[in-house]
Chains A and B, each alone.
Chain A
Amino acid sequence: MKAADFDYLRPSSLAEALTCLSQNVGVAQPLAGGQSLMPMMNFRVATPEVLIDLADIPDLRGVTELDGMLRIGAMTTYRDLTRITDRVPLLGLALPHIAHDAIRNRGTIGGSVALADPAAEMPALLLALGGVIELAGPDGQREVAADDFFQGYYATDRAEDELIVAIRLAVAKPGDSFGFYELTQRHGDYALAGVAIAHAPDLRIAFFGISDRPIRLPELEAALTAGTDPGPALDQIEFEGDLKASAATRRHYARVVLDRALAGMTS
């Protein structure tokens, strides 16, 4: 299929982009790597009248480090993230599971977070690392903790006239350890179930691919910290089924990925 007709804007600054967006609220969509948006447009599932390409905006690019935090521009591609895996080892564990080289060359961290696919790795990784999402809108900038950002299937706290500007993640410290495990029948597919774990030094565990959003359960973290059975905490999750796995299968898989990720924590 071919995309429905649309106008194409290519602003060169964040301010200009925000103006474009607020002038077209409801009919415009930002374009980052296009690895999700373009297929949706070609299926005519997404039919934006205006496409605002974020490719030329310097404020959305680059990675800087300050006070033990990394600030990663929204337009940073998965491929570029491989350069900072020594600072954020969990990225190194997760990135090889995201799609394939061609997609990783274009897909962006901002796009993944904005899309909020419940089976995507990046949102869960942000939850596990206690990441922060920086947003800019007509009324200025604000920041939201990852814990509060993801609200359901493809739903986030981002307002329609806002852009994700950057993601902030803590740099790993000596003694921190991390775990990651995901189940896919074919390499690079979206996860049937997955989990990202940070022990830095608090234990934070985020599942993906099992519910309508990435899931973090304080009860589960408490149970594991206390060395008790995590089963009851897992039962609180509202598991979702689809063509590839029923909710019951996902419940089963959640335990499998959890056990395997814990068994494979980095030291």
Chain B
Amino acid sequence: MTGPATIFDRPNRYIGQPTPRADAARLLAGRGRFVDDIQLPRMVHAAFHRSPHAHARIVSVDVTAARAASGVLGVWTGAEMAALVTPYVGVLTHMAGLRSAPQHPLAVDVARWQGEPLVMIVARSRAEAEDAAELVEVDYEELPPACDATTALAKDAAVIHADFGSNLAWERKVDVGDIDAAFAQPGVQIVEREFRFGRHTGVTLESRGTVCEFDPSEGCLTMHYSGQAPHMMQVILSRLMSLPEENVRVISNDVGGSFGIKIHTYGDELAAAVAARALGRPVKFVADRMESFLTDIHARDHVVKARMGVTASGTIVGIDMHDLTGIGPFSMYPRTSAIECNQVLNLTGAPYTMQHYRAHGQVVFQNKNLMCQYRAVGHPIAMAVADGLLEDAARVIGMDPVELRRRNLMADDSYPRSSTAGMKLDDLSHQAALKKLCEIMDYDGLRAEQARLREQGIFRGIGFVSMVEVTNPSPMFYGIGGAPIASQDGATVRLDAGGALHVSSSITEQGQGTNGILAQIAAGVFGVDIDRVKVTTGDTGTVPYGGGTWASRGAGIGGEAMLLAAQALKEQVLDVAAVMLQSEPGLLDIRGGAVVDAATGAERMGLADLARTVYYRGNELPSDLKPELIATRHYRVTDFPFVFTNGAMAAHVEVDPETGFVKVLHFWAVEDCGRVINPMLVDEQVRGGVVQGIGGALYEECLYSDDGQLLNATMADYMVPMAAEMPEITVAHIETPTKTSFLGAKGAGEAGTGGAPAAILNAVNDALQPMGATIWQMPMTPERILKVLGKV
């Protein structure tokens, strides 16, 4: 029998090949099926009146004129909606002490951020719904807002949830070793910085959206949903709308990007489902770009004060830090908004062997849009703090930053082990990754060029990051805390009568090529050509039960389930073939769509012949042979809370000291995501992630006024990184497969976003060094750079 260990060097392997994804041609041809493409008979459209204030008591709501407006079919106030939906609270039991207040789809008594939905209008067209929304009259009594996270805990700050007595949502302390004693040792030098990380957001190409339909005859709700976790959404709708879980079907067809934006519970989407049930008509809600900026979860919003101690010979003794995270007025349901800060505490300094670590995280409420899990949760903060301090320390002790890293990165043969903060680590390759990085970027050559150009008044900088990424989470991530979020995934593989495979999986596709790698795994492991594999994902009505695609878990967990299912089906088919061919299963193999002689490769029987015999002419088979041409397997990560990956990245930038502009000249990433299933897809994941990281480092920020008005809620004012400014991004790999699965794949989706900001920060500071300036605030806008240069 062909064992799992040999699946990677089979003659018809696809795993490891840059196979084009099957759906690329369809999407390019404009045949994608996104939520807004869905047109159902009798479908109607939702729009919302949203709070214009960051904090206001809702004195009265008058919807008389809106109800009477042309084309309007239904209007719901916050109170009316609250009567139809169970309130929800974004806490998890394993985040001890985390508190948040009950939320309703539409604000009831108090509006707590600008953009919070208050009244829903459903009309024949979106334009008519918007016309009616303008007729909603709300009498607001403005309340003092608490917007700035740094003053949210002050004595005189407005308290957003009076019952709590303060705006503190959660805090956590980590204390390993004895940082005070370590820092007091003779010869230990301390670098200390305050880092600021602005808020930004996901800006998905396809905005959030849903079409909900309710069939009263069966009591069934179907939600067409632009989202990443259909089964989670199924449970949430069932709980909050008091529907039997099996009567809720969530379908996520093509999804145009998500980045963590689309794994949360949004009031406007819930309200669309409620309206569909109430009206008995399909209701479409697609957020426009303004609504996206105002309500899609924001990310980051940290102020970190941190110190690092280092000896003259380059030993990092430890990090002492305080992280303040602003999360908006609620903790997001059901994943909570404390995870971001928790990750910062877990991950800061995780690549290094330092002995001492003290961290205090505080998560505060504020009257801004909700902040929650976005691509590379907490990672860019943790990496920028540790590696920013590291390169700062390198400057202080006069050591090359690569050399300082080399002396402190964990040895590649030292695993399994724990990080200073207590994370279980295995199969990492920090030293090898850094070495490879320096080779591919020609580090020595770049340094020489840098010195030469500085004499000509050209200020270039080189910056690095050594990073870890949390991937393939186990039940320890959410399930343990009571969240209805599956950590395991399932895959089904079925042989049809024509000899093709139909596979389905509980992970989802939102543009990264999930369906493509599922087909590669199934085709390669089972033994058919890839164009004979049809993939179904994203439908709770048809796919196995599982978590979806987020936290860089799709390939590692869903991919392994597919591998196991394909392997199981192969064994079942060979059992049947052995009987039909009067052979032994162990002497046979499946290659190129046929059962072959394992030793010689000679074809014995086409899969279509086998399947047709089983399906149509079962009379030819022995009666005690009960063929099952379908197999399902599930997989979850055991033994580890997460499967960590690592990488080393570098940025080469040029700073124009007259304008403060930063040009990223080149970016290099060496990633160890374990087994690379499709190098083309992995490279593009890394590149896309790097671009988002560059966005966070240089461009993107949700700018609020002091009284909580989002000032740049348009694509003209909110700066996403664009192709013209992006550098060449060179990607290379170290492959250290994880031992937690046969497939050996770890995640790769978030590494670029997690690492790039730190590398860019370090590169900019390297460029600024000869001018005696440093910057510790992201995004590093031209004006902020001019300020640290003393030019304005």
Contact = CB atoms under 8 A, between A and B. Distances in A.
A69 to B, nearest CB: 35
B661 interface: yes
Contact of A256 (B658, B703, B725): B658
B127 A186 contact: no
Given A249-B783, A253-B659, A256-B658, A187 B724 contact: yes
Contacts of A5: 127, 131
Given A2-B126, A185-B661, A248 B719 contact: no
A186 B724 contact: yes
A249 B792 contact: yes
B661 A252 contact: no
Contacts, number: 64
Contacts of A4: 127, 130-131
B198 to A, nearest CB: 12
Nearest to A186: B722
Interface string A244-257: 11101101110010
Contact of A252 (B699, B703, B712, B792): B792
Contacts of A153: none
Given A185-B699, A187-B722, A252-B791, A246 B659 contact: no
A245 B783 contact: yes
Interface in A81-136: none
Interface string B712-752: 10101101011011000000000000000000000000000
A249 B725 contact: no
B602 interface: no
A2 B128 CA distance: 9
A183 B659 contact: yes
Contacts of B497: none
Nearest to B701: A243
A97 to B, nearest CB: 12
B792 A248 contact: yes
A43 interface: yes
A3 interface: yes
Range of interface residues on chain B? 20 to 34
Nearest to A183: B659
Contact of A192 (B125, B699, B782): B782
Contacts of A3: 127
A66 interface: no
B692 to A, nearest CB: 15
Nearest to B712: A243
Contacts of B722: 186-188
Contacts of A183: 659, 661, 782
B312 interface: no
A244 B717 CA distance: 8
A1 interface: yes
A5 to B, nearest CB: 7
Contacts of A187: 722, 724-725
A256 B657 CA distance: 11
Given A183-B659, A256-B659, A2 B783 contact: no
B697 to A, nearest CB: 13
A244 B782 CA distance: 9
Nearest to B723: A187
A185 B719 contact: yes
Nearest to B779: A185
A27 B783 CA distance: 40
B724 A2 contact: no
A94 to B, nearest CB: 17
Contact of B719 (A44, A186, A249, A253): A186
A188 B723 CA distance: 12
B760 to A, nearest CB: 14
A230 to B, nearest CB: 16
A2 B659 contact: no
B24 interface: no
Interface in A221-267: 243-246, 248-249, 251-253, 256
A123 B389 CA distance: 48
A121 to B, nearest CB: 16
B719 A246 contact: no
Given A185-B661, A185-B719, A256-B659, A43 B290 contact: yes
A43 B717 CA distance: 14
A243 B713 CA distance: 12
B783 A1 contact: no
Interface in B260-284: none
A190 B699 CA distance: 15
B786 interface: yes
A186 B783 contact: no
Interface string A1-14: 11111000000000
B288 interface: yes
Contact of A1 (B290, B711, B717, B781): B290
Nearest to B724: A187
Contact of A243 (B288, B658, B661, B711): B711
B130 A2 contact: yes
Contacts of A1: 130, 288, 290
Interface string B120-152: 000001110011001000000000000000000
A245 B784 CA distance: 10
A2 B712 contact: no
Contacts of A252: 786, 791-792
A183 B663 CA distance: 13
Contacts of A2: 125-127, 130
A178 B134 CA distance: 50
A31 to B, nearest CB: 18
B783 A246 contact: yes
Given A2-B127, A5-B127, A185-B719, A244 B783 contact: yes
B435 to A, nearest CB: 35
A89 B722 CA distance: 28
A228 to B, nearest CB: 22
Interface in B229-253: none
Nearest to B721: A186
A249 B127 contact: no
Given A246-B792, A252-B792, A185 B127 contact: no
A256 B792 CA distance: 13
A186 B661 CA distance: 10
A49 B782 CA distance: 41
A245 B781 CA distance: 9
A243 B724 contact: no
Contact of A249 (B288, B290, B786): B786
A3 B719 CA distance: 24
Given A187-B724, A252-B786, A253-B659, A243 B131 contact: no
A107 to B, nearest CB: 14
Interface string B761-792: 00000000000000000000111001000011
Interface in A158-187: 183, 185-187
A4 to B, nearest CB: 7
Nearest to A193: B659
A6 to B, nearest CB: 11
A250 B131 CA distance: 40
A55 to B, nearest CB: 23
B717 A186 contact: no
Contacts of B782: 183, 185, 192, 245, 249
A39 B288 CA distance: 12
Contacts of A43: 290, 714
19 contacts: A1-B288, A2-B125, A2-B126, A3-B127, A4-B130, A4-B131, A185-B719, A185-B782, A186-B721, A186-B722, A187-B722, A190-B716, A244-B717, A245-B783, A246-B792, A249-B783, A253-B659, A256-B658, A256-B659
Given A4-B131, A183-B661, 13 more contacts: A1-B290, A2-B126, A43-B290, A43-B714, A186-B699, A187-B722, A187-B725, A188-B724, A243-B703, A244-B717, A249-B783, A249-B786, A252-B791
Q: Which 8 A-B pairs have the closest CB atoms?
A: A2-B127, A187-B724, A248-B792, A249-B792, A249-B783, A186-B722, A256-B658, A1-B288
Interface of B: 125-127, 130-131, 134, 288, 290, 658-659, 661, 699, 703, 711-712, 714, 716-717, 719, 721-722, 724-725, 781-783, 786, 791-792
